[in-house]
Amino acid sequence: METQGIVVITKLSARTQTTRIITLILGSMMILLTACSEQAWNNPYPDADAGKNILYSSFSDRPKHLDPARSYSSNEYAFLGQIYEPPLQYHYLKRPYELIPLTATKMPEAIFYDKQGRRLQANAAPELVDRTVYTIEIKPGIQYQPHPAFVKNEQGEFLYHHLNEDELSEIFTLSDFAQTASRELLAADYVYQIKRLAHPGLHSPIFGIMGQYIIGLNDLAKTLSPVYTELRKQGKHFLDLKQYDLAGVKVLDKYRYEIAIKGKYPQLVYWLSMPFFAAMPEEAERFYSQPGLIEKNIILDWYPIGTGAYMLSVNNPNLQMVLDKNPNYRGDRYPSDGSPSDAANGLLEDAGKAMPFIDKVVYNLEKETIPVWNKFLQGYYDTSGISSESFDQAIQVGNQGEVNLTEEMAAKGIKLSTVVAASSYYFGFNMRDEVIGGLSERARLLRQAIAIAFDYEEFISIFANGRGIAAQGPIPPGIFGYKDGKAGFNPYVYDWRNGQAERKSLEEAKRLLAEAGYPDGVDKKTGKPLVLNLDITASGPDDAARLNWYRKQFKKLDIQLVIRNTMYNRFQDKMHKGTAQMFIWGWNADYPDPENFLFLLYGPNSKVDVNGENAANYQNKAFDRLFDQMKNMENGPKRQAVIDNMIEIVRHDSPWLWGLHPKSYSLYHAWYGNSKPNLMAHNTLQYKKINAPQRDEKRAQWNQPITWPIWLLLIVLIAGTLPAFVTYIRKEHRVEREADNA
Amino acid sequence: MLNYIIRRMFYAIPILIGVNLITFTLFFVVNTPDDMARMHLGMKRVTPEAIEKWKADRGYDKPVAFNSEAQGFAKLTDTIFFENSVKLFVFEFGRSDAGRDIGFDISQRMWPSLAIAVPVLILGLLANITFALLVAFFRATYIDFWGVVVCVVLMSISGMFYIIGGQFLVGKLLHLVPISGYDTGFDAIKFLILPVLIGVIGGIGSGTRWYRTLFLEEIGKDYVRTARAKGLSESLVLFKHVLKNAMIPILTGVVVVLPLLFMGSLITESFFGIPGLGSYTIDAINSQDFAIVRSMVFLGSFLYIVGLILTDISYTLVDPRIRLS
C-alpha cells in the first residue's frame, strides 16, 4: 500500500508539474503577445517610430535607375525628384502649370543669335535663329547632403576615393562610412551632369533628342566613345568628363553657366525642370567608380547624391527605401500664392513656412495591391490609389454620375482626390497599312466609321470604373491647346446636343462605311468580308473581356476583328517594322506643352523611319508644316489658332481613335495635409505634412486585436478529439486489465 | 562513399550544361537581345544607337551560339552562350543586366527565404507527423474518417486562397499580425508568423495523407504484430517502433528539399513583401534580366543535385543495409 501510495503521489506530482509548465508556457505567450508592444499587434512598424513625423508609402517595382542621367520613369522620379535639384521647378499650387526657379535665382532668358552671331530680338522668327543661349545663375550657399564622397583628410585629399581592401571589408552600404561631408553647389556641377548625357556607358534616354539641340553634345559622345571603350578594356570605370569640352555648355563663373542650343527650342526650359539637368558633383562619380564599391553594388545608380529636401538613407528596394530629411537643406518656403479654392481647402495654411514638414518617408515594397489596400484601411499607409478590386468598397457613383466616397470611407475620415492625367491612351491605325492606312478618302471614311462605332464612353464605364474621359483629340486637359465643351468636341465622331457631345449614331457609321466601299462590312471590290487585325499584348485574366468588347465594337459594323495577341517584345518588333495594322498605345506628358503631344503625329518622327514616337506613322505635310510653326511659338491666341488647325487636320484624317484621358483617383487619410495633385512637379514631398498624434490615435482605435476566435478554435479542436482520447484511455485500461487478468 | 560522391559530382556537369542550354534556348527564343535592351532602357525615346550600346556593354552584340566570323575554337567561345555560361560553373554569377552583382544579391536575399522556409519545414514536419500519427492511431474511427476528409479539403484549396484568406482573417479582421512586410533580426518574427502558419496549414493536407500512408504500411508489418503479441500497448508500438521505421522515407524526403530551401517561395514572398530569392527570380523573369534568370536556374539545378546526393548519403546513415558503391 505504501509503495502504491508513493507511485500515486509521484504520478500526481508529475501531472501537477506538467500542468504548471503548460500554464507557464501559455501564460508567458499571452504576456509576450500582449505586453511586448504597446502598439497594435498588427503594426508593421517599429514601436520606436510611434508618434514620429514619418510618412508611410509603398512601391511595387524597384526603381531601375536612380542616376538622373538614366532615369526616365515616374516611379523613379518619386525618389529622384526629392533628392536631385534641377535649376527649375513647377509651382506646387498654380494651374495651369507654371515653371519657377528652384536652384536658379531667376527664370533663364533665351537669347537668340543669327548665323553671323548677331543678337536677335526676343520675337525673332524661328528661321532666322541659328542658336539660342540660356544663361542660368544658381543661388549661392546651397549645400549637398552629407556624403562620404566629399570627405577630405588634413592634407585636403579625398579620404574615400582610393579605398583599399581592408577599408572595403568593413563597407556594405553607404551608411557604413564613418565620416561624411558636404560642399557648396556650383554651376560646374550642372555642366558636368549635361556632359554625362553623352557618357557612352550611361545610355541616357534623352541623349538622342538633346543631341539634336545642345551644341556639341553629339561630338562629345563621338569623342568619348573610343576613350570609354579603352578604359573598359583596362578594367577602369571612371571617365573624367572634366577633361572634355562640350561646345554648347560652359561654366561662366562659380554660380553661372550657359547652354547653347541649335535654332529655337522653347521647350528646353521644361527639360530644365527634370532630373536629367540636375546637378551632379564630379566627386560622386569618381567615388562611385571604385571597383571595390561597384562589386558591392555601391554605385551612383543606386545611391543618389543631391541638394534636395530629402536624401536616400536606406536603399533596399527588395524591402524598403527610406528618405530622411536632408540636414543641409536650405529650407525653401511653402508657396503663398494659390487660388481661392486652394485657400478654401486649407492649402495656404502653411504659406511662408520652411519646408520640408515631414522628417522621414518610408516606402515599403508591396508587390500586390490587396495588402496595400488593407494596410491603408488600417492606417498603416497614409495614402492609397484605388485598384479595380477595391473600387466598389471605396467609391460610389451617384445617379448623376457624381463620384463620392462610400460611407465606410467617409466614416474613417478618408478623403478623395481626383485629377485627369496629362496622358492619352489611344487606338492607333498604322497609316502605312494598305487597308486601314493612308490619306485616301476610302481609308479616311473607314477610320471615321470605326471611330464612331468604337464607344469609348462605354469602355470607360466598364473597364475603368468611370475613371477617364473620352478624348476629343490628342491634347489632354490641363495642357495648353485643349478646349473643353462645345469649342473642343470632335465633330467627326460626336454631335453637340443638349449642351453636351453625343456620339453619332451607328447608322451614320454604317453610312460612312458603305461610302468607303464596305457596305455591311463587305469589300465591294472583292466581295469578301472586311477583316482587320489588332496587334496587342494582353495576357492577364481580365483581358479576355476587354478583347471581346473590342470585337463587339467592330462587329457593330460587321467588320471582323482578328486579335493578334503577342508577347510585348514581338509587339515592339512589329511596331518598329510597321507590320502591325492596328494597336493600342499611350503617352504620358513629359512637360505641359502641346508640342509634347502633337509631336506624336509629326511625320519626321515616324516609328518606322526613325524609331520615333509617331507610332501610327502618320504623315500629313500640312500638319507637319503647322507643327514646325507651333513648336516655337509662345502660348497665346496665335498659337491656339495654329493648334486648332492642326487638331482639325488630324480629326479629319483620324489616324487614331482618340481614346481616353485617364482620371487618377487617390485616397488619403484625414491626418495627411497639403495634398494637391501636381502631375508635372517631381519634388512634391516637401510640401506634404502629417498629423502623427491623430494617426496614432486612429490606428489604435482601428486595430484592436480580436482573440476569441482562436480560443474558440482551440475549444472545438479539444472537444472534437476528447471522445477519441477517452475511448483510447478506456481501451488501454482494458488491455492492461486483460493483461493483468491473464 | 567518397568515390561515389565524386562520381556523382562529375555526373552533375553534363546535367548542368544541359539545364543551362535549355534555359538559354528558351529565354532567347522568346527574347532577343534587342528586346532585352528595350525592356531595360524603357519605353520612351529609346534610339537604335542606345540599344546597340546597351548590347555591346553586356556582350549581347555577339552571335548567340556560333560565331562564324571568329577563328578556330573562338567560333564557339566568342558567343553569348559560352561567355554567359562558363563562369557559372565556378559560381561566378557576374552582374545583372541592371548592373548589380548577382552573387552579392543572392547572399543578401537567401536569409529572408530561409527565415520562412526553415520554420515551415520544421513545423510542417512536426504538424504533419503529429496529425498522421493521430489518424493512424485512431484508424477506422470517426477521427480517421474526418481527418481524411479535412486533409482532402485542405489539399483541394489553392495556395493563393490560403494566403489571401490568411491575410484577410488574421491580419485584417482579427488584427493579430501585420498583413505584410518584413524586418531584420527579432523584429522579423511578427512578419513571419502568418506566412509560416499559412505554409504549415497549406501543407498539412498532403503531408498528413502521405505520412498516414507510410505509418499504416508499417503498422501492417510482421514486427508490429510481434510487438503487439508481446503485449506492448498501442501507443508504445506506434511511437517507439512504427514511427522509428517510418522515419526512413520521411527523412530522405526531407533531405532532398533541404538545399532548395534557399530558393524561396515565389508566391508567398510576393504577397507578403518578403525580399527573398523567390521574388528575386520572379522580378528577373518579369524584367527579362537573363543574367539573374540563368544564375537562379543554375543554382536551383545545382542545389537539387546536391539534395539528391545528400538523400543517397542519408539512406546509408538511417539504413545500415545500404552501402554506396
- Alpha-carbon distance A700 to A697, whole Å? 5
Give residue-wise pLDDT tens across range A653-663: 999 999 999 99
The DSSP H or E segment spanning A518 is: none
Indicate the residue of B41, B100, B176 with minimum beta-carbon distance to A203: B41
Phi, psi of A341 (to 5 degrees): -70, -30
Of B35, B58, B90, which marks where a domain is finished? B90
CB atoms within 10 A of CB A518: 24
- Which one has a higher pLDDT value, B31 or A193? A193
Question: What residues are paired with A253 via a beta bridge?
Answer: A256
Alpha carbon separation from A509 to A454, A504, A558 (Å, rounded): 10, 8, 11
Say if residue A96 is preceded by a cis peptide, omega within 30 of 0: yes
The residue among A427, A385, A469, A405 whose CA lies nearest residue A663 is A469
Q: Is the per-residue pLDDT at A8 higher than 50?
A: no
Q: Between chains, do A203 and B44 touch, taking CB under 8 Å as contact?
A: no
A203 — pLDDT class (breaks 50, 70, 90)? confident
Both B82 and B144 in a single domain? no
Phi, psi of A57 (to 5 degrees): -145, 180
β-bridge pairing A320-325 and A360-365: antiparallel
A334 Cα to chain B: minimum distance (Å): 33
Residues contacting A344, CB < 8 A, separation 6+: none
A29 — pLDDT class (breaks 50, 70, 90)? low
- Alpha-carbon distance A160 to A171, whole Å? 11
Both B84 and B129 in a single domain? no
Question: What residues are paired with A660 via a beta bridge?
Answer: A425, A470
In chain B, residues with a C-beta closer than 8 Å to the C-beta of A203 are 41, 50, 53-54, 57
Give chain B's mean pLDDT.
86
Domain that holds residue B119: 107-318
B74 Cα to chain A: minimum distance (Å): 19
Query: In Å, how far from its chain's centre is CA B222?
Result: 38
CB atoms within 10 A of CB A296: 18
Q: Between chains, do B143 and A721 touch, taking CB under 8 Å as contact?
A: yes
The residue among A306, A343, A258, A260 whose CA lies nearest residue A102 is A306
Is position B211 within any domain? yes
Is position B271 within any domain? yes
Give residue-wise pLDDT tens across range A205-240: 899 899 999 999 999 999 999 999 899 888 888 999
Q: What grid cell was written down for B104?
A: 552579392
Both B116 and B61 in a single domain? no
Is position B305 within any domain? yes
Point out the least confidently predicted range of A472-486, B74-88, B138-152. Answer: B74-88
- Alpha-carbon distance A144 to A327, whole Å? 9
> Which percentage of chain B shows pLDDT scores above 70?
99
Question: What residues are paired with A185 via a beta bridge?
Answer: none
Q: Is the per-residue pLDDT at A540 higher than 80?
A: no
The DSSP H or E segment spanning A405 is: strand A403-405
Indicate the residue of B41, B101, B176 with minimum beta-carbon distance to A41: B176
Both B212 and B278 in a single domain? yes
* Interchain CB contact of A462 with B (< 8 Å): no
- Alpha-carbon distance B66 to B147, whole Å? 59
Length of chain B: 325
Is position B324 within any domain? no
3-state secondary structure of A702: helix
Where helices occur in A579-653 by DSSP H, the ranges are 595-598, 607-610, 621-630, 637-653
Q: Between chains, do A375 and B141 touch, taking CB under 8 Å as contact?
A: no
Alpha carbon separation from B10 to A627, B6, B134 (Å, rounded): 68, 6, 44
Both B75 and B151 in a single domain? no
> Which percentage of chain A shows pLDDT scores above 90?
75
- For B58-82, what is the mean pLDDT? 82
In chain B, residues with a C-beta closer than 8 Å to the C-beta of A732 are 233-235
B311 — pLDDT class (breaks 50, 70, 90)? confident
- Alpha-carbon distance B19 to A185, whole Å? 53
In chain A, residues with a C-beta closer than 8 Å to the C-beta of B113 are none
Indicate the residue of B35, B47, B174 with minimum beta-carbon distance to A569: B35
In chain A, residues with a C-beta closer than 8 Å to the C-beta of B134 are 721
Give chain A's mean pLDDT.
90
Q: Between chains, do A573 and B142 touch, taking CB under 8 Å as contact?
A: no
Both B73 and B149 in a single domain? no
* Interchain CB contact of A226 with B (< 8 Å): no
Is position B122 within any domain? yes
The DSSP H or E segment spanning A142 is: none
In chain B, residues with a C-beta closer than 8 Å to the C-beta of A56 are none
Burial of A449 (0-12, 13-18, 19+ CB in 10 A): buried
The residue among A633, A472, A649 whose CA lies nearest residue A124 is A633
pTM over 0.90: no
Give residue-wise pLDDT tens across range A435-470: 999 999 999 999 999 999 999 999 999 998 889 999
Q: What grid cell was written down for B115?
A: 527565415
Point out the least confidently predicted range of A65-74, A99-108, B283-292. Answer: B283-292
Position A11 scores a pLDDT of 42
CATH number (domain holding residue B271): 1.10.3720.10
CB A703 within 8 A of CB A42: yes
For chain A, positions 553-592, list CB contacts with chain B under 8 A: 567-569, 572-573, 590
CB B116 within 8 A of CB B274: yes
B183 Cα to chain A: minimum distance (Å): 8
Q: Name, of A175-189, A525-539, B79-93, the range with top average pLDDT.
A: A175-189
CB A185 within 8 A of CB A328: no
3-state secondary structure of B155: helix
B229 Cα to chain A: minimum distance (Å): 11
Of B41, B64, B90, which marks where a domain is finished? B90
Residue of A nearest to B35 (CA): A569
- Alpha-carbon distance A385 to A391, whole Å? 10
Q: What is the DSSP string of A437-502?
A: -SSSHHHHHHHHHHHHHS-HHHHHHHHSTT-EEE-SSSPPTTSTT---GGGG--TTTEEEETTEEE
The residue among A149, A143, A148, A151 whose CA lies nearest residue A85 is A143
* Interchain CB contact of A42 with B (< 8 Å): yes
Both B143 and B39 in a single domain? no
Question: What residues are paired with A99 via a beta bridge?
Answer: A90
β-bridge pairing A131-137 and A249-253: unpaired
Q: Between chains, do B273 and A62 touch, taking CB under 8 Å as contact?
A: no
CB A383 within 8 A of CB A440: no
Is position B19 within any domain? yes
Q: Between chains, do A368 and B39 touch, taking CB under 8 Å as contact?
A: no
A187 Cα to chain B: minimum distance (Å): 28
Cβ pairs A/B, distance under 8 A: 161
Q: Is the per-residue pLDDT at A735 higher than 70?
A: no
- For A4-30, what is the mean pLDDT? 45
Give residue-wise pLDDT tens across range A109-139: 999 999 999 999 988 888 899 999 999 999 9
Q: What is the DSSP string of A114-141?
A: -TT--EE-TT--GGG-SEEEEEEEBPTT
In chain B, residues with a C-beta closer than 8 Å to the C-beta of A366 are 180, 273
Q: What grid cell was written down for A322?
A: 527610406
Is position B323 within any domain? no
CB A90 within 8 A of CB A352: no
In chain B, residues with a C-beta closer than 8 Å to the C-beta of A62 are 283
Of B22, B56, B90, which marks where a domain is finished? B90
Is position B98 within any domain? no
Q: What is the DSSP string of B28-79?
A: HHH--HHHHHHHHH-SSS--HHHHHHHHHHHTTTS-SS--TTS-TTHHHHSS
Residue of B nearest to A364 (CA): B181
Q: Between chains, do B176 and A42 touch, taking CB under 8 Å as contact?
A: yes
Q: Between chains, do A611 and B39 touch, taking CB under 8 Å as contact?
A: no
Give residue-wise pLDDT tens across range A283-302: 999 999 999 998 888 999 99
CB A468 within 8 A of CB A652: no
Both B79 and B134 in a single domain? no
Q: Between chains, do B45 and A613 touch, taking CB under 8 Å as contact?
A: yes
- Alpha-carbon distance B97 to B118, whole Å? 31
In chain B, residues with a C-beta closer than 8 Å to the C-beta of A569 are 30-32, 35, 38-39, 288
Say if residue A226 is preceded by a cis peptide, omega within 30 of 0: no
Position B152 scores a pLDDT of 93
- Which one has a higher pLDDT value, B44 or A550? A550
In chain B, residues with a C-beta closer than 8 Å to the C-beta of A371 are 167, 179-180, 271-273
Position A402 scores a pLDDT of 78
CB atoms within 10 A of CB B61: 15
Amino acid found at B13: I
Both B37 and B167 in a single domain? no
Point out the least confidently predicted range of A412-426, B115-129, B288-302. Answer: B288-302
Both B29 and B166 in a single domain? no
CB A699 within 8 A of CB A378: yes
Interface test with B, best of A30, A39, A42 (most B CBs within 10 A): A42
CB atoms within 10 A of CB A676: 18
Position B279 scores a pLDDT of 84
Q: Is the per-residue pLDDT at B176 higher than 90?
A: yes
Q: How many separate domains does chain B show?
A: 2
In chain A, residues with a C-beta closer than 8 Å to the C-beta of B109 are 318
Point out the least confidently predicted range of A581-595, B43-57, B124-138. Answer: B43-57
Indicate the residue of B39, B46, B175 with minimum beta-carbon distance to A205: B46
User: What does DSSP assign to residue A200?
Assistant: T
* Interchain CB contact of A741 with B (< 8 Å): no
Both B214 and B280 in a single domain? yes
Region of A119 (left: φ > 0; alpha: ψ -120 to 50; beta: rest) is beta
Question: What residues are paired with A214 via a beta bridge?
Answer: A261
Length of chain A: 742
3-state secondary structure of A568: helix
Amino acid found at B128: N
Grid look-up 471611330 returns A451
Position A37 scores a pLDDT of 54
Residue of A nearest to B48 (CA): A611
Burial of A733 (0-12, 13-18, 19+ CB in 10 A): exposed
Tell me what ipTM this predicted complex has.
Answer: 0.81
- Alpha-carbon distance A611 to B48, whole Å? 7
CB A688 within 8 A of CB A678: no
- Alpha-carbon distance B117 to B123, whole Å? 10
Point out the least confidently predicted range of A189-198, A602-611, A638-647, B77-86. Answer: B77-86
Q: Is the per-residue pLDDT at A34 higher than 80?
A: no
In chain B, residues with a C-beta closer than 8 Å to the C-beta of A201 are 57
Both B56 and B155 in a single domain? no
Q: Between chains, do A319 and B182 touch, taking CB under 8 Å as contact?
A: yes
Q: What's the half-sphere exposure (Cβ side, CA atoms, 13 Å) at B220?
A: 6
Grid look-up 491656339 returns A640
A704 Cα to chain B: minimum distance (Å): 6
Q: Which residues of A545-574 are buried (b: 16+ CB within 10 A; e: fewer)?
A: eeeeebeebbebbebebebbebeebbbbbb
Residues contacting A691, CB < 8 A, separation 6+: A670, A671, A673
Position A24 scores a pLDDT of 47
